Structure 1
Amino acid sequence: MAQKIKIEKPKVSENLPKANFQDIFDQEEPFLHTCIIANCTIDRVDIDKLDFTQVVFQNVSFSEVSFRNIELTDVVFEHCDLSNCDLMRASIHRVEFINSKLLGVNLTESHIGNVLFQNCNLNLSSFGYGSLKQVRFEESSLINADFYECRFNKIKFERCDLDEVNFTRTPLKGTDISTSTFQALSVGLEDLPGCEVSPQQAIGFAALLGLKIKE
C-alpha cells in the first residue's frame, strides 16, 4: 500500500494587505512579510538572500529574475510564471505552487520541505544536489526535469508526466511514482529498491535488468 505523505500547509493569514514588490528596495535588508502581491510582472531583478514570509503571489510573472539563496516560508504562488528563474540554493518550507509555470527553473542545491506542486509545468527544471523532504507533485509535467544526486525523503509524484526525468544517483526508496507516466527514465538500478511503482512500471524496470517477461 502506498504511503500517505502529509504536507504541512503554508501558515498564511487571511485578508493580507496588498504590497508592491518595489517596496523591498526601500529597506536595508530585502524581505517581504505578511502581504499579497498580485497581477504584476517582476522584471530583471537580481537579489541575493531575499526573504519571503507569509506572502501570497497571484498572477505574477517573474522575468529574468535571480533570487539565489532565497528563503521562502509560508508562501503561496497561484497562477504565477517563474520560468527560468534562478533560485539556486533556495530554502523553501511550507510553500505551495498552484497552477504555475516553472519551466527551466533552477533549484539546484536547494532545501525543500513540506512543499506542494499542483498542476504545474516543471519541464526542464533543475533540482540537482538538493534535499527534498515531504514534497508532493500533483498532476504536473516534469519532462526532462533533473534530480541528479538528490536526497529524497517522503516524496510522491501523483499523476505526473515523468518522461526523461533524471534520477541518476538519487536513491528512490519510499518515493511513490506508481500513478505517474513515462516512456523512459534515467535511473540507476542500485537506486530503485524501495521505490513504489505500478505493476506495469515494474515490468518495464524488469526489462532494464535484462529479464524476459513471458505472457
Structure 2
Amino acid sequence: MSKTIKIQQPKIPDGLKARPFQPMEDPFYEMCMISDCSIMSEEVHRIRFEQVIFKNVTFLDVSFRNIELTDCIFEHCDLSNTDFREGSIHRVEFKESKILGLNLSDASLGNVLFENCNANMTSFGYSKLKQVAFKNCSLRNADYYESKFNHVAFKHCDLNEANFEQTPLKGIDLTTCIFDRMNVSIKDLAGCEVTADQALGFARLLGLIIK
C-alpha cells in the first residue's frame, strides 16, 4: 500500500476578523474571514488571499485568473464554474464545498486538501499537483489531462469517467476509489495500485475478452 501523504495545514491565526469582499485597486486580502455572502460577476487577475477563511460563500460568474491563495480554507462554499486558471494555491483546504466545474487548469497546487467536495467536471489540465489529497470527493468527469503528480492521493473518491490522458499514474493508489470507466492510456497505468476488479476493467481497455 502507498504511504500516507502528509499535507501541511493552512497556517491561520485565531480570532480572524470578518471582512466583506469589495473590489480594490490592489486586490490583496489577508488575515480575515469572508462569510455568508455571494461574490458575483467579478473578473480580477492576480488577486491575492493570505490567511483567509471563506465560509458559506457563493461565487457566481467569477474569474480570478492567476489567483494566489496561501493558507486559506474554503468551507461550505459554492465555487461552481469559477475560474482559477494559472493560480498558485498553497496550503489550502476545500471542505464540504461544491466546486463543480472549477477551472484549475495550468495551476500550481502544493499541500492542498479536497475533502467531502462535489468536484465533478473540475479541470486540472496541465496543472502541477504536489502533496495534494482528495478525500471522499465526487470527481466524475474531472479532467487531469497532462497533469504532473507528485505525492497525490485519492481516498474513497468517485472517479467515473475522469480523464487522466497523458498523466502518469505511477505510485497512485486507487484501491479505495470507485469507477466504471476512466480515460487513461495503458502506458500511464504502470505502477498504479488497483484492486483485482479494477484491473479487470483496465484490461478491457486492451480489448481483452475476459471469461
TM-score bracket for this pair, using the shorter chain length = over 0.9
Task: Give the total of aligned pairs.
Answer: 211
- Which residue, out of 149, 162, 183, partners 2:146? 149
Contact kept, 8 Å, 2:129 with 2:147, in 1: the verdict is yes
Contact kept, 8 Å, 1:83 with 1:104, in 2: the verdict is yes
Q: 1:25-174, aligned counterparts within 5 Å?
A: 25=24, 28-174=25-171
Give SS of 2:17's match.
coil
The alpha-carbon deviation at position 208 of structure 1 amounts to: 2.4
Matched AA of 2:3: Q
CA displacement, residues 69-126 of structure 1 (integer Å, 9 cap, x when unaligned): 0000000000000000011001100000000001111111000111000000111111
Contact kept, 8 Å, 2:180 with 2:201, in 1: the verdict is no
How many angstroms apart in 2 are the aligned matches of 1:183 and 1:142? 13
2:198 equivalent in structure 1: 201
Matched AA of 1:184: R
Matched AA of 1:181: I
TM-score (norm 2): 0.97
Matched AA of 1:51: R
CA displacement, residues 28-67 of structure 1 (integer Å, 9 cap, x when unaligned): 4111000111100011111000000000000000100000
The alpha-carbon deviation at position 210 of structure 1 amounts to: 4.1
Q: Share of identical aligned residues, percent?
A: 55
- Long gaps (5+) in structure 1: none
Runs of 4+ aligned structure 1 residues displaced above 6 Å come to none
- Long gaps (5+) in structure 2: none
How many angstroms apart in 2 are the aligned matches of 1:30 and 1:104? 24
How many angstroms apart in 2 are the aligned matches of 1:150 and 1:190? 15
TM-score (norm 1): 0.95
How many angstroms apart in 2 are the aligned matches of 1:176 and 1:47? 37
How many angstroms apart in 2 are the aligned matches of 1:114 and 1:177? 20
How many angstroms apart in 1 are the aligned matches of 2:80 and 2:56? 13
How many angstroms apart in 1 are the aligned matches of 2:131 and 2:172? 10
Matched AA of 1:133: K
How many angstroms apart in 2 are the aligned matches of 1:207 and 1:109? 31
